[in-house]
Amino acid sequence: MDVAQMLQGLATLSWVVAVAVIALAVARAARGRSFKGAGAIVGGTVVAAILLTSVAAGLVFIRPEERGVVISAVAPGGYRPVALTPGLHWVIPFFENVVIYPISRQTYTMSIAPGEGQVTGDDSVEARTSDGQIVRIDASVIYAIDLDRVVQVHIEWQSRYATDLVRPIARGIIRSAASQYGVEEIVTSERDALTDLITAELAGSLEENGITLVEFILRNIAFSDEYAASVEQKQIAEQLAQQAAFTVEQRRQEAEQARQVAEGLADAAVIAAQGRADARLIEADAEARALEMIAEALAGHPELLTYQYITKLAPGIQVMLVPSNAPYLLPLPTLEPSTAPTP
User: What total of structural domains would you count in the chain?
Assistant: 3
Out of 42-46, 70-74, 304-308, which region has the weakest mean confidence (pLDDT)? Answer: 304-308
Same domain, 75 and 170: no
Judgement on whether residues 139 and 154 belong to the same structural domain of the protein: yes
Judge if 191 and 129 occupy the same domain: yes
Residue range of the domain that includes 216: 106-223
Is 204 a member of any domain?
Answer: yes
In-domain check, residue 58: yes
Residue 238: inside a domain: yes
126 plus 177 within the same structural domain: yes
Domain match, 110 and 200 both: yes
Phi-psi region of 115 (alpha: psi -120 to 50; beta: other; left: phi over 0): left
Question: Other CB atoms closer than 10 Å to residue 259's CB: what's the count?
Answer: 10
| pLDDT in the model for residue 325 | 61
Among 191, 223, 255, give the residue marking a domain's end: 223
Whether 235 has a pLDDT exceeding 70, the answer reads: no
Q: Which of 249, 270, 291 is the endpoint of a domain?
A: 270
Residue 52 corresponds to which amino acid? L
pLDDT at 53 over 80: no
pLDDT of residue 192: 92
Considering only residues 43 and 166, tell me which one the structure prediction assigns the higher pLDDT: 166
Whether residue 310 has pLDDT greater than 90: no
Domain end call among 32, 67, 102: 102
- Is the residue at 333 inside a domain? no
Asked if the structure places residue 304 within a domain, the reply is no
Same domain, residue pair 124 and 72: no
Tell me the CA end-to-end span of the chain in Å, nearest whole number: 166
Q: Are residues 209 and 115 in the same domain?
A: yes
Distances (CA, A) of 96 to 74, 92, 93: 8, 5, 6
**C-beta contacts of 214-217 below 8 A and 24+ residues apart:** 214/105, 214/142, 214/143, 214/144, 215/142, 216/139, 216/140, 216/141, 216/142, 216/170, 217/139, 217/140, 217/141, 217/142
Can you tell me the distance from the alpha carbon of 170 to that of 172, in angstroms, rounded to the nearest whole number?
Answer: 6
Task: State mean pLDDT over 180-197.
Answer: 90
d(CA 203, CA 186): 21
pLDDT mean over 314-328: 58
Q: Does the residue 179 lie in any domain?
A: yes
pLDDT of res. 326 = 55
Q: What is the pTM of this model?
A: 0.60
Q: Are residues 32 and 86 in the same domain?
A: yes
Same domain, 148 and 203: yes
Q: What is the pLDDT of residues 79-96, one digit of tens each?
A: 999 999 999 898 998 899
Three-state DSSP state, 238? helix
Q: What's the pLDDT score for residue 343?
A: 46
Q: Is the pLDDT of residue 242 over 70?
A: yes
What is residue 238's predicted lDDT score, i.e. its pLDDT?
Answer: 75
pLDDT tens readout for residues 128-137: 999 888 899 9
Distances (CA, A) of 43 to 28, 36, 39, 53, 162: 18, 13, 6, 15, 48
Domain identity same for 92 and 121: no
Is residue 285 a part of any domain in this protein?
no
Weakest mean pLDDT among 12-16, 107-111, 239-243, 300-304: 300-304
**Closest to 167 measured CA to CA, from 223, 215, 119:** 119
Residue 336 confidence (pLDDT) above 90 = no
How far CA 292 is from CA of 279, 285, 295, 300, in Å, comes to 20, 10, 5, 13
Q: What 3-state class would DSSP assign to 86?
A: coil
Give residue 214's pLDDT: 96
Handedness of CA 180, 182, 183, 187 (dihedral sign): negative
Q: 198 and 129: one domain? A: yes
Domain match, 65 and 82 both: yes
For 224-239, what is the mean pLDDT? 69
- Report the CATH number that the domain containing residue 191 is assigned in CATH: 3.30.479.30
Q: Residue 30 above 60 pLDDT?
A: yes
Q: Is 248 among the domain residues? A: yes
Residue 177 near residue 116 (C-beta atoms within 8 A): no
pLDDT at 241 over 60: yes
Q: What pLDDT score was predicted for residue 126?
A: 92
